[in-house]
Amino acid sequence: MAVSSVDGAAVKSEADLRTYLSRSLLAEYHDIQEGQVRQVATFLKSYLIEAHLPPSGVDAALRQWPFKEVEATGENWLWRLRDGKSNDYFLDARDRRFPVVHTIAHANSADPVLRRLTTGNAPGLDHFWFPSKLLSSRDLGQVIGFRFFQQRNVKGLEEAEAARQLAKELGRSEPPAFRLALTEWAGAGDDLKRLREAGFASRAALDSLSWRRYEAREEGFIHDQVWSNGKVVAYGTSWNAHLANLNALRASYAAAVSGLEQEYALRWESGLFQGEPIEIVMPFARIEDLSEFANELVSGTPPFRIWGESTPSAAGVHEFVGIDLHTGHRLQGEVREDSLRLYLRNETCGNVLMRLLVNLERHVSSEVVTSVDDLLLDPA
């Protein structure tokens, strides 16, 4: 049960939702009880989702596991969802393609539920995948923290075998990950820039980035921690600032995804063959075994979720064809020692490229240069 005295069932409108979620925003999160610090309230969490479904399909997709209850509210874009532990979630589907789910449930409950929703049995639903370039080029206020993550466990990489050996010696199933975090530090923006440009260039995949934003009219603020998987954790005093950040993130992500689909997908249009492949170069990576790497890429398993076949085509090149398990859409490409070329087909959802980029950053090399960098840095 969420740590909140507010009844989610009473939420019928946007104003109710704001009141309900703001109480979590304004709560004291910790208290000293019986001589110990205890968490007495949870942060507000907003999960940005990509729904590649027909307009009527969003609520239908939600009417299945992992949610036990789906209830309409007084607004036709707002649904109340309830999981098996009676936690409430609110789906804001004003944007049908890029809806957002808000909850004040504890992350231990909410994260697995949203993970099941976006990577489980509901085809067409995926979460956002913020590549480091897109995330770090947003301006949502003052940067006050960041987290790096890197785990080179993809087969075929030069360093993967050494990492697996270390994991074996440590008695772990997965190689230890590189993690580095800086929180609530006024100079975080400068440090982030320095670290990504210099010493940690190949390991500085952004796991999350935190901003503090002031809302002058309310004399309030929000502290939003935006994760690469589209989860936004908020505390502060301004719901409006949080909403503005969500809208800005959604708008830039939507513009990038739409740009990929409209400018790069290969298709016949007006009598001409339009679109072009997307080149992804990883200057610090060396894929030692192309076959192993390409097979893992199209194995149909997380993190890539592409299912298909790969074959050697020419010296130093492996080709692959597959479908994106998020939508069933087709894509194909070529893998070389330090780069990939991706061909999106006419129907392919642009989210597949975002997922690929984030996972290449996290599991191969965080320094990824693409032919669509302009779109990531300035989507609008």
Partner 1 sequence: MREELRLVNAVIGMTADMPGWPNVLHLQGFKLAALQRTVKVAGLPGALKPEAIFFSATRNEAVVIESKSQSLSEPQAHKYWNLTMEDLIEADCLPGSASSGGISPVYFCEEEAGGHLGPAIEHFNDQYDANLPLVVYNNKQFRLRTGDIRNRGLHTAFSSTLWFDERYWPTRFVPYDAESSPEELLPGLLQELRALLWAAEVDLISAEQLAGGHPSIASDGCVPSFTALHGLPRKQLIGVIRVLVEELRYHCLKNYLGRQKAGSWKRKSTLSTRALQRVGPCLRSYLEHKREGTPFGPVPLMDTAAIELAGE
> Which residues bind to partner 1, rule: CB under 8 A?
123, 266-268, 270-274, 276-277, 279, 281, 307-309, 311, 313-317, 319, 321-323, 325, 328-330, 332-334, 336, 339, 341, 343, 345-347, 371
C-alpha angle with apex 372: 299 to 148, nearest 5 degrees? 65
Q: Which of 51, 122, 50, 52 is nearest to 329 (CA)?
A: 52
**Which lies closer to partner 1 via its Cβ, residue 207 or residue 334?**
334
**Which lies closer to partner 1 via its Cβ, residue 74 or residue 316?**
316
**Which lies closer to partner 1 via its Cβ, residue 174 or residue 269?**
269
**Which lies closer to partner 1 via its Cβ, residue 78 or residue 297?**
297
Give me the least distance between CB of 41 and partner 1, in Å please.
41
- What distance lies between CA 42 and its chain's CA centroid? 21
Give me the least distance between CB of 286 and partner 1, in Å please.
14
**Which lies closer to partner 1 via its Cβ, residue 203 or residue 329?**
329
Give me the least distance between CB of 227 and partner 1, in Å please.
28
- Look up tokens 């991706």; give the residue: 342
Give me the least distance between CB of 10 and partner 1, in Å please.
36
Angstrom distance (rounded) from CA 252 to CA 212 = 19
Give me the least distance between CB of 379 and partner 1, in Å please.
18
Is the distance from CB of 335 to CB of 248 less than 8 angstroms?
A: no
- Please state at what angle helix 14-25 crosses helix 239-259, rounded to 10 degrees: 110
**Which lies closer to partner 1 via its Cβ, residue 115 or residue 267?**
267
- Look up tokens 């400068």; give the residue: 190
Give me the least distance between CB of 330 and partner 1, in Å please.
5
Give one word for 328, left, alpha or beta, with left for phi > 0 and alpha for psi -120 to 50.
left
- Number of other residues whose CB lies within 10 A of the CB of residue 315: 5
Angstrom distance (rounded) from CA 214 to CA 222 = 7
- What distance lies between CA 6 and its chain's CA centroid? 29
**Which lies closer to partner 1 via its Cβ, residue 74 or residue 300?**
300
Q: Which of 125, 370, 118, 114 is nearest to 260 (CA)?
A: 370
**Which lies closer to partner 1 via its Cβ, residue 199 or residue 316?**
316
Give me the least distance between CB of 290 and partner 1, in Å please.
11
Peptide bond into 303 cis (omega under 30): yes
Q: Is the dihedral of CA 159, 192, 176, 341 positive or negative?
A: negative
Is the distance from CB of 277 to CB of 295 less than 8 angstroms?
A: no
**Which lies closer to partner 1 via its Cβ, residue 112 or residue 316?**
316
244 token code pair: 């503005």
89 token code pair: 């979630």
Give me the least distance between CB of 327 and partner 1, in Å please.
9
Angstrom distance (rounded) from CA 325 to CA 19 = 38
2 token code pair: 């969420």
Is the distance from CB of 252 to CB of 380 less than 8 angstroms?
A: yes
**Which lies closer to partner 1 via its Cβ, residue 230 or residue 275?**
275
Give me the least distance between CB of 344 and partner 1, in Å please.
11
Give me the least distance between CB of 254 and partner 1, in Å please.
19
